[in-house]
Amino acid sequence: SELMEDKNIMCHVMEELDDDVDMAETKDQPRANNKSHSWLNGQCVLAVPSCSTLNPSFDLSLCRAKLEDEGFQIPDTDMETPLRTALDVPSVRRYMVFNSAFFHFIMAPVLYVVVWCAMFSTFHHYITVNNYWVLCLFVSLVSIVFTTAIIFVLHHSNKEINMNLDVRLIQVNERMVKHKLLVAVADWVQNCTGNMQLYFVYWDISHCLRALTETLEEQSSQVSDKLKKKMSHLILLTEAVDSKVVDPEVCELDVERDTDEQRPLLRSEDTSCSTSSSQQKDPKVTTNYSLIPVASLPAQAKAYQLLMTYSAAYVKLQVSQKLSGPSHHRLQPRMNHCTTAPLCFCQYITKKILQ
Protein backbone atom coordinates (compact mmCIF):
# COMPACT_ATOMS: atom_id res chain seq x y z
CA SER A 1 0.00 0.00 0.00
CA GLU A 2 2.91 2.34 0.73
CA LEU A 3 4.40 1.68 -2.71
CA MET A 4 1.05 2.41 -4.36
CA GLU A 5 0.76 5.61 -2.32
CA ASP A 6 4.26 6.67 -3.38
CA LYS A 7 3.42 5.99 -7.04
CA ASN A 8 0.25 8.07 -6.77
CA ILE A 9 2.23 10.88 -5.16
CA MET A 10 4.85 10.66 -7.92
CA CYS A 11 2.22 10.87 -10.66
CA HIS A 12 0.46 13.76 -8.95
CA VAL A 13 3.69 15.68 -8.45
CA MET A 14 4.82 15.08 -12.03
CA GLU A 15 1.52 16.46 -13.31
CA GLU A 16 1.97 19.55 -11.14
CA LEU A 17 5.53 19.99 -12.39
CA ASP A 18 4.38 19.77 -16.00
CA ASP A 19 1.81 22.45 -15.31
CA ASP A 20 4.50 24.64 -13.71
CA VAL A 21 6.74 24.32 -16.75
CA ASP A 22 3.91 25.15 -19.13
CA MET A 23 2.92 28.17 -17.07
CA ALA A 24 6.53 29.38 -16.93
CA GLU A 25 6.85 29.13 -20.69
CA THR A 26 3.57 30.91 -21.50
CA LYS A 27 3.79 33.75 -19.01
CA ASP A 28 6.36 35.16 -16.64
CA GLN A 29 4.41 37.45 -14.35
CA PRO A 30 5.31 38.02 -10.70
CA ARG A 31 2.80 36.80 -8.20
CA ALA A 32 2.01 39.17 -5.39
CA ASN A 33 1.64 38.39 -1.69
CA ASN A 34 3.66 35.17 -1.93
CA LYS A 35 7.17 35.29 -0.58
CA SER A 36 8.10 31.80 -1.79
CA HIS A 37 8.21 32.99 -5.42
CA SER A 38 11.06 35.38 -4.63
CA TRP A 39 13.42 32.51 -3.89
CA LEU A 40 15.96 31.12 -6.33
CA ASN A 41 16.92 27.51 -6.82
CA GLY A 42 19.50 26.39 -4.28
CA GLN A 43 18.82 29.12 -1.72
CA CYS A 44 18.60 27.94 1.87
CA VAL A 45 15.18 28.88 3.22
CA LEU A 46 15.70 27.51 6.72
CA ALA A 47 18.43 25.80 8.73
CA VAL A 48 17.48 24.41 12.13
CA PRO A 49 20.29 23.15 14.40
CA SER A 50 20.05 19.93 16.34
CA CYS A 51 18.81 20.24 19.90
CA SER A 52 21.57 17.97 21.21
CA THR A 53 24.87 16.62 19.92
CA LEU A 54 24.58 13.22 21.62
CA ASN A 55 20.87 12.84 20.87
CA PRO A 56 20.19 14.57 17.54
CA SER A 57 16.65 15.89 17.19
CA PHE A 58 15.01 18.86 15.51
CA ASP A 59 12.18 21.13 16.61
CA LEU A 60 9.75 20.49 13.76
CA SER A 61 7.10 22.82 15.17
CA LEU A 62 9.65 25.64 15.02
CA CYS A 63 10.48 24.66 11.43
CA ARG A 64 6.83 24.82 10.48
CA ALA A 65 6.36 28.26 12.09
CA LYS A 66 9.43 29.73 10.39
CA LEU A 67 8.46 28.30 7.02
CA GLU A 68 5.02 29.86 7.37
CA ASP A 69 6.71 33.20 8.03
CA GLU A 70 8.54 32.77 4.72
CA GLY A 71 5.29 32.09 2.87
CA PHE A 72 5.34 28.27 2.72
CA GLN A 73 2.03 26.76 3.84
CA ILE A 74 2.86 23.08 4.34
CA PRO A 75 0.38 20.65 5.92
CA ASP A 76 1.45 18.35 8.72
CA THR A 77 1.14 15.26 6.52
CA ASP A 78 3.75 16.64 4.10
CA MET A 79 6.41 17.74 6.59
CA GLU A 80 6.20 16.88 10.28
CA THR A 81 4.78 13.37 9.99
CA PRO A 82 7.24 12.05 7.36
CA LEU A 83 10.17 13.80 9.07
CA ARG A 84 9.35 12.16 12.38
CA THR A 85 9.04 8.81 10.65
CA ALA A 86 12.42 9.27 8.96
CA LEU A 87 14.51 10.86 11.72
CA ASP A 88 12.77 10.30 15.06
CA VAL A 89 13.96 6.70 15.41
CA PRO A 90 16.48 5.62 18.10
CA SER A 91 18.61 3.61 15.67
CA VAL A 92 18.75 6.54 13.23
CA ARG A 93 19.73 8.94 16.00
CA ARG A 94 22.56 6.65 17.09
CA TYR A 95 23.76 6.45 13.51
CA MET A 96 23.68 10.23 13.18
CA VAL A 97 25.89 10.51 16.28
CA PHE A 98 28.49 7.93 15.24
CA ASN A 99 28.56 9.12 11.63
CA SER A 100 28.74 12.83 12.47
CA ALA A 101 31.73 15.00 11.65
CA PHE A 102 32.16 15.84 15.33
CA PHE A 103 32.51 12.16 16.24
CA HIS A 104 35.09 11.71 13.48
CA PHE A 105 36.87 14.80 14.79
CA ILE A 106 37.13 13.22 18.25
CA MET A 107 37.94 9.77 16.90
CA ALA A 108 40.98 10.96 14.90
CA PRO A 109 43.34 11.73 17.86
CA VAL A 110 42.03 8.71 19.78
CA LEU A 111 42.73 6.47 16.81
CA TYR A 112 46.20 7.96 16.43
CA VAL A 113 47.08 7.28 20.09
CA VAL A 114 45.75 3.72 19.93
CA VAL A 115 47.64 2.93 16.73
CA TRP A 116 50.81 4.56 18.05
CA CYS A 117 50.75 2.57 21.31
CA ALA A 118 49.96 -0.69 19.54
CA MET A 119 52.73 -0.30 16.97
CA PHE A 120 55.30 0.92 19.51
CA SER A 121 54.67 -2.01 21.82
CA THR A 122 54.84 -4.45 18.91
CA PHE A 123 58.07 -3.11 17.39
CA HIS A 124 59.67 -2.63 20.79
CA HIS A 125 58.96 -6.24 21.69
CA TYR A 126 60.31 -7.82 18.50
CA ILE A 127 62.96 -5.34 17.35
CA THR A 128 65.95 -4.20 19.34
CA VAL A 129 66.71 -0.53 18.73
CA ASN A 130 69.47 1.43 20.40
CA ASN A 131 68.00 4.86 19.68
CA TYR A 132 64.41 4.99 20.84
CA TRP A 133 63.81 8.30 19.16
CA VAL A 134 64.26 6.59 15.78
CA LEU A 135 61.63 4.02 16.71
CA CYS A 136 59.28 6.71 18.02
CA LEU A 137 59.70 8.73 14.84
CA PHE A 138 59.03 5.71 12.64
CA VAL A 139 55.97 4.69 14.65
CA SER A 140 54.66 8.24 14.60
CA LEU A 141 54.97 8.51 10.82
CA VAL A 142 53.23 5.18 10.25
CA SER A 143 50.45 6.11 12.70
CA ILE A 144 49.92 9.45 10.97
CA VAL A 145 49.67 7.78 7.57
CA PHE A 146 47.24 5.15 8.86
CA THR A 147 45.03 7.68 10.66
CA THR A 148 45.01 10.00 7.65
CA ALA A 149 43.94 7.13 5.40
CA ILE A 150 41.04 6.26 7.70
CA ILE A 151 39.91 9.89 7.87
CA PHE A 152 40.14 10.20 4.09
CA VAL A 153 37.95 7.11 3.62
CA LEU A 154 35.35 8.47 6.04
CA HIS A 155 35.43 11.89 4.41
CA HIS A 156 35.00 10.38 0.95
CA SER A 157 32.11 8.19 2.11
CA ASN A 158 30.25 11.29 3.34
CA LYS A 159 30.18 12.58 -0.23
CA GLU A 160 28.19 9.56 -1.37
CA ILE A 161 24.50 8.89 -0.86
CA ASN A 162 23.85 7.67 2.68
CA MET A 163 21.59 4.63 2.84
CA ASN A 164 20.76 5.16 6.51
CA LEU A 165 19.90 8.86 6.30
CA ASP A 166 19.63 10.28 2.78
CA VAL A 167 17.49 7.40 1.54
CA ARG A 168 15.13 7.78 4.50
CA LEU A 169 14.48 11.35 3.39
CA ILE A 170 13.31 10.32 -0.08
CA GLN A 171 9.69 10.01 1.02
CA VAL A 172 9.96 13.36 2.77
CA ASN A 173 11.22 15.10 -0.36
CA GLU A 174 8.55 13.43 -2.48
CA ARG A 175 6.03 15.41 -0.45
CA MET A 176 8.07 18.57 0.07
CA VAL A 177 8.85 18.95 -3.63
CA LYS A 178 5.20 19.86 -4.17
CA HIS A 179 5.95 22.97 -2.13
CA LYS A 180 9.23 23.58 -4.01
CA LEU A 181 11.40 22.59 -1.05
CA LEU A 182 14.01 19.88 -0.54
CA VAL A 183 15.17 18.60 2.86
CA ALA A 184 18.53 17.25 3.98
CA VAL A 185 20.64 16.78 7.10
CA ALA A 186 24.22 18.07 6.99
CA ASP A 187 26.88 18.53 9.64
CA TRP A 188 30.46 19.70 10.01
CA VAL A 189 32.86 20.81 12.73
CA GLN A 190 33.07 24.54 13.44
CA ASN A 191 35.21 25.98 16.23
CA CYS A 192 35.79 22.47 17.64
CA THR A 193 32.04 21.91 18.03
CA GLY A 194 29.61 19.84 16.02
CA ASN A 195 27.20 21.69 13.75
CA MET A 196 24.38 19.37 12.65
CA GLN A 197 21.43 21.08 11.00
CA LEU A 198 18.23 20.26 9.17
CA TYR A 199 18.13 22.24 5.92
CA PHE A 200 15.17 23.34 3.86
CA VAL A 201 16.34 24.48 0.43
CA TYR A 202 14.16 26.06 -2.20
CA TRP A 203 14.16 24.11 -5.44
CA ASP A 204 11.77 24.07 -8.36
CA ILE A 205 12.73 20.84 -10.09
CA SER A 206 10.47 21.34 -13.13
CA HIS A 207 13.32 22.55 -15.35
CA CYS A 208 15.73 19.91 -14.01
CA LEU A 209 13.08 17.26 -14.62
CA ARG A 210 12.69 18.32 -18.23
CA ALA A 211 16.46 18.56 -18.84
CA LEU A 212 17.13 15.16 -17.26
CA THR A 213 14.25 13.62 -19.21
CA GLU A 214 15.79 14.86 -22.46
CA THR A 215 19.17 13.44 -21.42
CA LEU A 216 17.64 10.03 -20.67
CA GLU A 217 15.83 10.04 -24.01
CA GLU A 218 19.07 10.85 -25.84
CA GLN A 219 20.89 8.01 -24.06
CA SER A 220 17.97 5.57 -24.07
CA SER A 221 20.06 2.70 -25.40
CA GLN A 222 22.66 2.98 -22.62
CA VAL A 223 20.60 4.15 -19.67
CA SER A 224 19.77 0.71 -18.25
CA ASP A 225 23.38 -0.44 -18.20
CA LYS A 226 24.60 2.79 -16.63
CA LEU A 227 21.94 2.73 -13.93
CA LYS A 228 22.74 -0.87 -13.02
CA LYS A 229 26.44 -0.09 -12.89
CA LYS A 230 26.19 3.07 -10.79
CA MET A 231 23.20 2.19 -8.59
CA SER A 232 23.56 -1.55 -8.04
CA HIS A 233 24.57 -1.00 -4.39
CA LEU A 234 21.43 0.99 -3.56
CA ILE A 235 19.33 -1.83 -2.13
CA LEU A 236 16.89 -1.49 0.75
CA LEU A 237 16.07 -4.32 3.12
CA THR A 238 12.43 -4.10 4.17
CA GLU A 239 10.44 -6.29 6.51
CA ALA A 240 6.88 -7.19 5.57
CA VAL A 241 4.32 -9.26 7.45
CA ASP A 242 3.60 -12.51 5.64
CA SER A 243 0.08 -13.60 6.51
CA LYS A 244 0.42 -16.74 4.43
CA VAL A 245 2.96 -18.30 6.79
CA VAL A 246 1.06 -20.40 9.34
CA ASP A 247 2.43 -22.77 11.95
CA PRO A 248 0.91 -26.23 11.24
CA GLU A 249 1.29 -27.40 14.85
CA VAL A 250 -0.68 -24.43 16.12
CA CYS A 251 -3.38 -25.13 13.54
CA GLU A 252 -3.73 -28.72 14.73
CA LEU A 253 -4.10 -27.58 18.33
CA ASP A 254 -6.80 -25.12 17.31
CA VAL A 255 -8.71 -27.79 15.42
CA GLU A 256 -8.66 -30.14 18.42
CA ARG A 257 -9.81 -27.38 20.79
CA ASP A 258 -12.72 -26.32 18.61
CA THR A 259 -16.01 -28.04 19.37
CA ASP A 260 -18.73 -28.71 16.86
CA GLU A 261 -20.89 -25.96 18.29
CA GLN A 262 -18.14 -23.36 18.22
CA ARG A 263 -16.86 -24.37 14.79
CA PRO A 264 -18.23 -22.20 11.98
CA LEU A 265 -20.19 -23.80 9.20
CA LEU A 266 -17.88 -22.49 6.50
CA ARG A 267 -14.22 -22.29 7.33
CA SER A 268 -11.43 -22.08 4.81
CA GLU A 269 -7.84 -23.12 5.29
CA ASP A 270 -6.67 -19.53 5.53
CA THR A 271 -8.99 -18.64 8.41
CA SER A 272 -8.69 -21.87 10.39
CA CYS A 273 -5.93 -20.48 12.55
CA SER A 274 -7.19 -16.93 12.93
CA THR A 275 -7.63 -17.19 16.71
CA SER A 276 -4.18 -18.53 17.42
CA SER A 277 -2.42 -16.35 14.86
CA SER A 278 -3.93 -13.22 16.37
CA GLN A 279 -2.43 -14.19 19.71
CA GLN A 280 1.05 -14.56 18.23
CA LYS A 281 3.16 -12.14 16.29
CA ASP A 282 2.80 -12.32 12.55
CA PRO A 283 5.92 -13.68 10.86
CA LYS A 284 7.99 -11.15 8.98
CA VAL A 285 9.70 -11.70 5.66
CA THR A 286 12.73 -9.67 4.60
CA THR A 287 12.61 -8.43 1.02
CA ASN A 288 15.06 -6.50 -1.11
CA TYR A 289 13.96 -3.31 -2.83
CA SER A 290 16.26 -1.81 -5.44
CA LEU A 291 16.32 1.95 -6.00
CA ILE A 292 17.16 1.50 -9.68
CA PRO A 293 14.29 2.80 -11.85
CA VAL A 294 12.40 0.07 -13.67
CA ALA A 295 13.47 -0.18 -17.30
CA SER A 296 9.87 -0.16 -18.55
CA LEU A 297 9.16 3.27 -17.03
CA PRO A 298 9.04 6.28 -19.35
CA ALA A 299 11.97 8.67 -19.36
CA GLN A 300 10.16 11.30 -17.33
CA ALA A 301 9.28 8.84 -14.57
CA LYS A 302 12.89 7.64 -14.45
CA ALA A 303 14.13 11.21 -14.25
CA TYR A 304 11.76 12.01 -11.40
CA GLN A 305 12.80 8.90 -9.47
CA LEU A 306 16.48 9.75 -9.89
CA LEU A 307 15.89 13.31 -8.70
CA MET A 308 14.07 12.10 -5.60
CA THR A 309 16.63 9.38 -4.86
CA TYR A 310 19.55 11.82 -4.85
CA SER A 311 17.66 14.87 -3.54
CA ALA A 312 18.87 14.69 0.08
CA ALA A 313 22.42 13.77 -0.96
CA TYR A 314 22.63 16.70 -3.38
CA VAL A 315 21.27 19.23 -0.90
CA LYS A 316 23.66 17.92 1.76
CA LEU A 317 26.64 18.46 -0.53
CA GLN A 318 25.36 21.85 -1.67
CA VAL A 319 24.84 23.40 1.77
CA SER A 320 28.18 22.01 3.01
CA GLN A 321 29.92 23.39 -0.11
CA LYS A 322 31.26 20.00 -1.19
CA LEU A 323 29.94 20.11 -4.74
CA SER A 324 32.66 20.15 -7.35
CA GLY A 325 32.01 21.90 -10.64
CA PRO A 326 32.34 20.26 -14.05
CA SER A 327 35.93 19.46 -14.99
CA HIS A 328 35.21 20.02 -18.69
CA HIS A 329 32.94 22.18 -20.78
CA ARG A 330 30.61 19.49 -22.07
CA LEU A 331 27.93 20.65 -19.66
CA GLN A 332 26.54 23.78 -21.20
CA PRO A 333 25.96 26.80 -18.94
CA ARG A 334 22.35 27.08 -20.07
CA MET A 335 21.62 23.75 -18.40
CA ASN A 336 22.52 25.14 -14.98
CA HIS A 337 19.24 25.98 -13.28
CA CYS A 338 20.96 26.99 -10.04
CA THR A 339 23.00 30.15 -9.52
CA THR A 340 24.07 29.37 -5.96
CA ALA A 341 25.96 26.11 -6.66
CA PRO A 342 28.69 25.16 -9.14
CA LEU A 343 26.66 22.16 -10.27
CA CYS A 344 22.92 22.03 -10.93
CA PHE A 345 20.76 19.19 -9.64
CA CYS A 346 20.28 17.62 -13.07
CA GLN A 347 23.97 18.13 -13.88
CA TYR A 348 24.91 16.38 -10.65
CA ILE A 349 22.88 13.29 -11.58
CA THR A 350 24.18 13.37 -15.15
CA LYS A 351 27.77 13.53 -13.92
CA LYS A 352 27.19 10.99 -11.15
CA ILE A 353 25.28 8.32 -13.05
CA LEU A 354 24.97 8.96 -16.77
CA GLN A 355 28.64 9.59 -17.58
Q: Where are the domains of the chain?
A: 101-157, 236-256+275-290
Return d(Cα 3, Cα 295) in angstroms, integer.
17
Q: CB within 8 A of 168, min separation 6: which ones? A: 86, 87, 92
CA neighbours closer than 13 Å in the CB half-sphere of residue 203: 33
Return d(Cα 176, Cα 111) in angstroms, integer.
40
Element (H or E) spanning 48, and its range? strand 44-49
CA distances in angstroms from 135 to 140, 143, 206, 226, 344, listed in the order given: 8, 12, 62, 50, 51
Give backbone dihedrals phi and psi of 200, rounded to 5 degrees, phi first.
-120, 110
Tens-binned pLDDT, residue by residue, of the chain (355 aa)? 444 444 454 555 555 555 544 444 443 334 334 454 588 899 999 999 998 878 888 999 999 999 999 989 999 999 999 999 999 999 999 988 888 888 888 888 999 999 999 988 888 777 777 777 888 888 899 999 999 998 888 777 777 888 889 999 999 999 999 999 999 998 877 676 678 899 999 999 999 999 999 999 998 888 888 999 988 888 887 766 555 544 544 444 343 444 444 444 344 444 444 444 444 555 667 788 888 999 899 999 999 999 999 999 999 999 988 887 654 444 444 457 887 888 899 999 999 898 8
Residue 35 burial by Cβ neighbours in a 10 Å radius (0-12, 13-18, 19+): exposed
Residue 81 confidence (pLDDT) = 93
What is the pTM assigned to this prediction? 0.74
Task: Starting at the earlier edge strand, list the strands of the sheet with 44-49.
Answer: 44-49, 193-202, 181-190
